[in-house]
């Protein structure tokens, strides 16, 4: 038995002329062999039909071939139900005001994902788009540090329905770092993280956005899974450094996204070379050719190379992204060019 099968059965159950899945009554669905667990999420005003609905669901699943049916019901306080679609066995949540979700990832730590994600967001903004950035690294949120928002917190609107993100130089910023205290150890895992991720993304007042850039932690863990399973991601940009040793890790990350059915749009080689300011000569400090090799191996285009640049690291420390503070230095120009290639691909 599969979740798809269970989902099909649930879609046959109607309330007020709509099936319960499209109506947003399905909170979660887990299938293990012949056992199915359904979490119903029922709006307050429909609480009276909960028992009747549970009976209908149980009967339908049992006659559909499941041997054991567990139903849990949560009553939802009048928040509008998110629009639910199906994506394989998963549901995806529609963010109606966000046109493109773009994620920045890598198999490796410290290659400059967060730096690139932040600067890509500002590059899109400079090109005239409305942009938000979501830092989904709960163990080491760095976007809020890079934008000097450490002391800010997300506000909750008066009716308590939405998070209001702080805005920095015209870009909305959401981060686990703006929710929890920097020094509080956060031990969310698996389902709890998934839920927190869903709430933070879907209950934030993003306004109208052309691009939501999501900074991911290294590797393929909870944040990658939650993002790919819950939302419709337009594409992932994979950051690597030029060392050939970095390739194996990055390849693993690319394979991970393929499994999650998310398209990898391109590869970005960061810290690709250093241009000596005195002589203008290029030095390939971390080796050469890693990005190209990765592109040849995977068929995914190399979208550009960003040089090692002291403006990048000092901007990160000063709280103003290099693209915003120094748009004409070589690293900013490289990132602007990458942003333009991404626009062409879309």
Ligand X SMILES: Nc1ncnc2c1ncn2[C@@H]1O[C@H](COP(=O)(O)OP(=O)(O)OP(=O)(O)O)[C@@H](O)[C@H]1O
Q: Contact residues for ligand X (CB under 6 A)?
A: 106, 109-115, 137, 140, 142, 217-218, 270-271, 306, 308-309, 312-313, 316, 331
CB of 313 to ligand X, least distance (A): 4
Name which of 219 and 289 has its Cβ closer to Mg ion.
Answer: 219
Name which of 108 and 194 has its Cβ closer to ligand X.
Answer: 108
Name which of 144 and 332 has its Cβ closer to Mg ion.
Answer: 144
Find out whether 88 and 56 touch, Cβ atoms under 8 Å: no
Q: What pairing do the DSSP bridges indicate for beta strands 131-135 and 209-215?
A: parallel
Task: Tokens for 47, please give them.
Answer: 């609480």
Name which of 253 and 308 has its Cβ closer to ligand X.
Answer: 308
CB of 308 to ligand X, least distance (A): 4
CB of 63 to Mg ion, least distance (A): 50
Question: Pick from Mg ion, ligand X, none: which does 271 bind, CB < 5 to 8 A by kind?
Answer: ligand X
CB of 320 to ligand X, least distance (A): 12
CB of 187 to ligand X, least distance (A): 19
CB of 161 to Mg ion, least distance (A): 30
Question: CA-based Rg of the chain, rounded to a whole angstrom?
Answer: 22
Name which of 38 and 105 has its Cβ closer to Mg ion.
Answer: 105
Q: Which of the ranges 105-113, 122-130, 286-294, 315-323 carries the binding residues for Mg ion, by CB under 5 A?
A: 105-113
Site size with Mg ion, rule: CB under 5 A: 3
Name which of 308 and 338 has its Cβ closer to ligand X.
Answer: 308
Site for Mg ion (CB under 5 A): which residue of 92, 114, 119, 204?
Answer: 114
Task: Tokens for 264, please give them.
Answer: 């990898």
Question: Pick from Mg ion, ligand X, none: which does 109 bind, CB < 5 to 8 A by kind?
Answer: ligand X
């Amino acid at each position: 038995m599969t979740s798809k099968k269970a989902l099909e059965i649930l879609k046959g159950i109607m309330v007020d002329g709509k099936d319960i899945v499209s109506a947003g009554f399905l909170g979660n669905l887990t299938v293990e062999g012949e056992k199915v667990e359904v979490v119903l999420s029922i709006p307050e005003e429909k609480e009276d039909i909960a028992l009747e609905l549970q009976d209908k669901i149980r009967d339908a699943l049992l006659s559909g071939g499941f041997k054991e049916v567990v139903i849990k019901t949560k009553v939802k306080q009048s928040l509008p139900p998110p629009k639910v679609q199906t994506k394989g066995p998963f549901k995806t949540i529609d963010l109606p005001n966000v046109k493109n979700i773009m994620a920045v990832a890598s198999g490796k730590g410290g290659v400059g994902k967060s730096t690139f994600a932040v600067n890509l967001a500002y590059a899109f903004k400079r090109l005239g788009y409305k942009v938000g950035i979501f830092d989904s690294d709960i163990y080491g949120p760095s976007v809020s540090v890079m934008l000097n928002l450490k002391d800010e917190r997300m506000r909750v609107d008066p009716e308590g329905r939405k998070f209001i993100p702080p805005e920095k130089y015209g870009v909305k910023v959401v981060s686990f770092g703006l929710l929890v205290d920097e020094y509080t150890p956060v031990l969310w895992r698996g389902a709890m993280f998934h839920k927190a991720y869903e709430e933070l993304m879907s209950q934030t007042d993003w306004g109208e956005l052309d691009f939501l850039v999501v900074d991911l932690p290294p590797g393929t863990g909870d944040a990658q899974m939650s993002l790919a399973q819950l939302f419709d991601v337009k594409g992932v940009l994979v950051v690597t450094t030029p060392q050939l040793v970095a390739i194996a890790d990055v390849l693993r990350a690319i394979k991970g996204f393929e499994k999650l059915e998310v398209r990898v749009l391109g590869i970005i080689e960061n810290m690709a070379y250093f241009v000596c300011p005195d002589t203008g000569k290029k030095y390939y400090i971390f080796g050469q050719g890693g990005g190209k090799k990765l592109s040849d191996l995977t068929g995914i285009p190399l979208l550009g190379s960003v040089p090692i640049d002291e403006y990048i690291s000092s901007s990160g420390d000063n709280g103003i992204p290099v693209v915003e503070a120094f748009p004409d230095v070589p690293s900013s120009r490289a990132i602007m060019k990458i942003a333009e290639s991404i626009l062409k691909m879309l």
